[in-house]
Amino acid sequence: MARKATSEMNEVNDRVARLSELISAQGAVLSNPAMLLPANPFFDLAGEEFGRRLLLTNGANDEDYCLRPDFTLPIAMDFLRDGGDEQGRAFSYLGSIFRQRAQGPVEFTQAGIEFLGQKNRDETLENTLNFALKALEIYDIKPDILLGSVEVFESLLKVIDIPQVWLPRIRHRFGQPKAMNRLLDRLGKPQAPIADLKAQNREALITKITDQMMADGLSLTGSRSPEEIANRYFEKQQLAATPVSAKTLEILRAYLAIKGDASDSLHEIEALAKEYNLDIFAPLKRLTKHIEFLKAQNQVSSIKFDASFSPRLDYYTGIVFQMIFNSKTIASGGEYNRLLERLGAKKQMNATGCAIWIDRAEEAKK
Amino acid sequence: MKKLVLALPSKGRLEELSREAFAKAGMQVKRDGGARSYAGSLQGFENVNVQFLPAGEIARGLIRGTIDIGVTGEDLIHEAVENGIKKVELAAKLGFGKANVVIAIPDAWVDVVYIRDLADVASDFREKHGRWLKIATKYIQLTRAFLAEHGIAQYKIVQSVGATEAAPSSGAADLIVDITSTGSTLKANGLRIIDDGVILKSEANLIISKASKLSNEQQVDLGKIISAVRASL
């Protein structure tokens, strides 16, 4: 028994050693961000839903700190603090992250890679996918790959006929099918107009709202302004009068329902684009190219596409992926070209990367 | 022998009404040392130890199992820890201490009537103001679960320790989630409850801990107390 345990332990260590070798072979700087990090940047970036998964503690200065919940954010912040090299840099990592689960806090081991500020997006995405596949190969895992494309969806939003105000709201529900369906249902139904405030013009309504806010002791500038409230009030009245066209909703629903074998899905999207004359061919071509790349890799078990799949964080931009084995996500990543700007970069900079859940890979190995 | 621990709220209307509920069920609760004492006894039950504690403390004790049975608000169980409600059993609704946990917005937000309006506002907020929509509350777990259910993710909770209703006018938050029984405090602060914004209808409950371990004798006492209270309702 004891001998078996030792040999198993040796195998685990051997795999970690091979993984470390792979990580250093990427020409990336091995990064080791602090284990204890200020919590606010995580809340600012990812909001309350991710925030609830943090293991928090307080400093005596009343600042909140958390145990490292992921590597991407601290690596990206360090990159920017060091000047955000215009030529781009690559970073790799292997270490512990901490998340709250329903059954209490858990420590996980993650390995991964981050390409920050790289110029060639396609090459970088290929390198990322390649890295993930090679890492899983160490664990004898031939994964099923699930692809999603934020850029195809975002370009679809640009070419459909819909009032501008709805675009961010639809975009924010991408990756949340239930909430998306509710919104699309709402947009299609003529709604009962909201209470008539007897203020038919905008100026009169703004005055009325301003008076009420002042009477209630609310700041006119600290939160939603009277103008903002009035604009949305009239926008709602307008939607009640003219709902979003049935055709637009049909396109959105048809697109979001596309899923299955990646090549079949591509054909379906192309057919949809042709039928409704939607110019989304540039991002589609790019997606095709990466599907072809994955098809040429022999350590891939299957390639699927789901048009409604996306991480729920809105800094994701291009192609996103998960690598799945025995219905568990072992690796996930993609392109997040809005991340660095969110963190204060002066201009848009590309970012691509992935994280591998080492504990799940080990589990699969058993 | 370890006594069965029964906890009742230590002060105010909740204490009175809890003792009345037990009296109506034929069980007199005695607070032997008067209002300053935290210990009491239950007539007819020699092996029951009555403790008078703050309602929030009762909720935490029930979840941990240091209290076997007690009277407190359902809202406090939810708020004590995430999934706290799974660690207790609600044995009887007592019909008092009624209050709702609600989402309230500035009344001047004339465009917001339903939760779906709030979803739009949350989506637009960061773009317009460069920060997340802020919600002040003590009810962090309930708020997160409710908003997640409605697909709202673009917000940040500001933990409030008291006078939550003042948060919008002080600028600490844009809206609040708070408990209210009549709504008059909200109204006085220029706030309005969203039409479908009731997160929890709470009232005082007789609650049993699932975490405490009871002897057979204690089980018998527990069963008698529950049956008597249920029969009197």
Cα dihedral B226→B228→B232→B233 (10° resolution): 10
What is the rounded CA–CA span in Å between residue A15 and residue A8?
A: 11
Q: Per the CATH hierarchy, to which homologous superfamily does domain B4-97+203-232 belong?
A: Periplasmic binding protein-like II (3.40.190.10)
Cα dihedral A335→A338→A342→A344 (10° resolution): 100
- Where along chain B do its domains lie? 4-97+203-232, 99-202
- DSSP 8-state class, residue A224: S
What is the CA A104 to chain-centroid distance, rounded?
25
pLDDT tops 90 at residue A163: no
Question: Beta-carbon neighbour count of residue A250 at 10 Å?
Answer: 14
Predicted confidence at residue B210, as pLDDT, reads: 95
**Considering only alpha carbons, which residue of chain B is nearest residue A217?**
B169
B54 has a chain A CB within 8 A of its CB: no
- Where along chain A do its domains lie? 2-31+68-157+256-365, 202-241
A202 pLDDT tier (thresholds 50, 70, 90): confident
Distances (CA, A) of A148 to A68, A88, A289: 27, 25, 14
What is the rounded CA–CA span in Å between residue B126 and residue A317?
A: 18
* Mean pLDDT for the stretch of residues A91-113: 90
Q: Do B144 and A173 touch (CB under 8 A)?
A: no
Enumerate residues 325 to 364 of chain A having a beta carbon within 8 A of any beta carbon in chain B.
none
- DSSP 8-state class, residue B101: E
Q: Per the CATH hierarchy, to which homologous superfamily does domain B99-202 belong?
A: Periplasmic binding protein-like II (3.40.190.10)
Q: What is the pLDDT of residues B5-39, one digit of tens each?
A: 999 999 889 999 999 999 999 999 998 777 778 89
What is the rounded CA–CA span in Å between residue A293 and residue A126?
A: 8
**Does B99-202 match B4-97+203-232 at the fold level?**
yes
If phi > 0 it is left, if psi is from -120 to 50 it is alpha, else beta; for residue A36 that is beta
Predicted confidence at residue B231, as pLDDT, reads: 95
Burial group, residue A293, by CB count within 10 angstroms (0-12, 13-18, 19+): middle
Q: What is the pLDDT of residues B195-218, one digit of tens each?
A: 999 999 999 999 999 999 999 999
pLDDT tops 70 at residue A198: no
B195 has a chain A CB within 8 A of its CB: no
* Mean pLDDT for the stretch of residues A173-187: 90
- The alpha-carbon gap from A139 to the nearest alpha carbon of chain B, in Å, equals 35
Predicted confidence at residue A313, as pLDDT, reads: 85
What is the rounded CA–CA span in Å between residue B217 and residue B68?
A: 13
Strand partners, A67: A36
Percentage of residues in chain A with pLDDT exceeding 90? 66
What is the rounded CA–CA span in Å between residue A64 and residue A73?
A: 16
Which residue among A47, A169, A172 sits closest to B132, beta carbon to beta carbon?
A47
Q: What is the pLDDT of residues B148-185, one digit of tens each?
A: 888 888 899 998 888 999 999 999 999 999 999 988 99
What is the rounded CA–CA span in Å between residue A158 and residue A215?
A: 42
Strand partners, B102: B178, B198
Cα dihedral A94→A97→A102→A103 (10° resolution): 80
Burial group, residue B132, by CB count within 10 angstroms (0-12, 13-18, 19+): buried
* Selection from B161, B127, B122, B157 nearest residue B142 by Cα: B157
pLDDT tops 50 at residue A145: yes
At the top level of CATH, which class does the domain A2-31+68-157+256-365 belong to?
alpha beta
Burial group, residue B187, by CB count within 10 angstroms (0-12, 13-18, 19+): middle
* Mean pLDDT for the stretch of residues B119-126: 91
The CA R_g of chain B, rounded to the nearest whole Å, is 20
pLDDT tops 60 at residue B59: yes
Tokens describing residue A150: 């934020």
